[in-house]
Amino acid sequence: MTISKRIVLVLKGYPRLSETFIAQEIYSLEQMGFSVTIVSLRHPTSAKLHPVHEAIKAPLLYLPEYLYQEPKRILKAWWKARKHKGYKKAFKDWIADLRRDFTPNRFRRFGQALVLTAEFPDDGALIYSHFIHTPSSVAKYAADILGKPWSASAHAKDIWTSPDWELKDKLASMEWLVTCTSNGHAHLQGLADQPDKVRLVYHGLDLSKFSKRRSIALGGDGKDEKNTVRLLTVARPVDKKGLDTLVAALAQLPTDLHWHWTQVGTGEDSEKIKALVEELGITKKVTFAGSMGQADVIKQYQDSDLFVLPCRIAKSGDRDGLPNVLVEAQSQGVMVISTPISGVPELVRDDQNGLLVPPDDVSALAKALETAIRDPKLRKQMGEMGAKIVHEHFEHHASMEPLAKYLRESLSKV
């Protein structure tokens, strides 16, 4: 049954290969009968798409990425937006925010909110934003101007790099917020005037695409050059992923151990990581595969023996929540090695379905890697346990039900 009242979904960028979970959520909402319009603050940086992007039917509105690029559109939007009753409140709130955060970004968000207000779908009833930082700034200003209810989803970087004053203001303004890790949930509840506004909803995995492998081969033990143990990391090379720690740990492994590491994804530190691999003399044992579509990433999981992601808290405070790649890898029966950062321990149980080592501890990571590489039975046992946990507790459709319930309740009030 189609729900006629439309959700206006504000995203930082769309489509993005690294945010498959958002695309899967949008597709599922459409399948559940919700009408959705996608609003993106930025244009895509890659021409590649996942199949789920192509299946989404929602209309797409791109806001001006930089205000100077579309001055006439901004002026026209301001002329229209200023006639709304809520404009004065939104402008007052923006000035207060600007005093605490006098940045080009703050000007840009208000300008984008004006355009969203002016070009808002006629049947738009509810604004819902993914990430509580910049997309929610646009959502809040636009909601104030239009007098529309709004809600949001918070994840990781957006929580931990946003100042408390801003999080408090947004939480007070919105109807409800969902977040995907228990520590993020606790932190946001502590800032909310009404803690029950903040709800914990894990990201699930679409198991129709990540169906369980029929069997998990033992793989090698690192002794045979012809049966190399295949290590995999799917992650953008950025500080919080800890790939420099991983490269240093790989370089510490015994020289007679036969392994090969493949890294999928591109990011701001790509060249830095490649240079470190060369500097430490392990170039022949490493493949940088770049960005991949979902089908190719799934094949990488299935062809691998061990998945490694040594997350850390970056100097900026940025950190992962519960990385979806860990859930994806475990769905395919691949043992994982990671760190007890944020929501990782909510999935990876140390010595049961993976190994957890302290972040930035090169020696501990090297020891864990060597242990897993030398013991194919351990990898198989932990991989099978990981697949069991994912298929029992991280199924996408079950995780969508709470979100759909909150959205239906909000739409029913409009």
Higher-confidence residue: 113 or 395?
113
**3-204+396-412 with 229-393: one CATH topology?**
yes
User: Please, what is the average pLDDT of the chain?
Assistant: 93
Choose the CATH number for 229-393 among 3.40.50.2000, 3.30.565.10, 3.10.180.10, 3.20.20.140: 3.40.50.2000
| Measured distance CA(322)–CA(14) in Å, rounded | 21
Report helix, strand or coil for 254.
coil
Q: Is the peptide bond before 121 cis (omega within 30 degrees of 0)?
A: no
> 11, 241, 10: which is closest to 120 by C-alpha?
10
- Rounded-to-integer distance, Cα 340 and Cα 358, Å: 7
pLDDT digits (tens, 9 = 90+) for 41-61: 999 887 778 788 889 999 999
H/E stretch holding 327 reads: helix 324-331
What is d(CA 236, CA 403) in angstroms, rounded to the nearest whole number?
28
pLDDT tens for 173-211 read: 999 999 988 888 999 999 999 999 999 998 778 777 777
Q: What HEC string does 360-371 produce?
A: CCHHHHHHHHHH
Q: What one-character DSSP code corresponds to residue 291?
A: -
Are the CB atoms for 138 and 170 separated by under 8 Å? no
Work out the percent of the chain whose per-residue pLDDT is above 70.
98
Read off the amino acid at residue 88.
K
Q: What are the residue ranges spanned by the domains of the chain?
A: 3-204+396-412, 229-393
Tokens representing 157 are 């970087």
What's the pTM value of the predicted model, to 2 decimals?
A: 0.79
| CATH T-level fold of 3-204+396-412 | Rossmann fold (3.40.50)
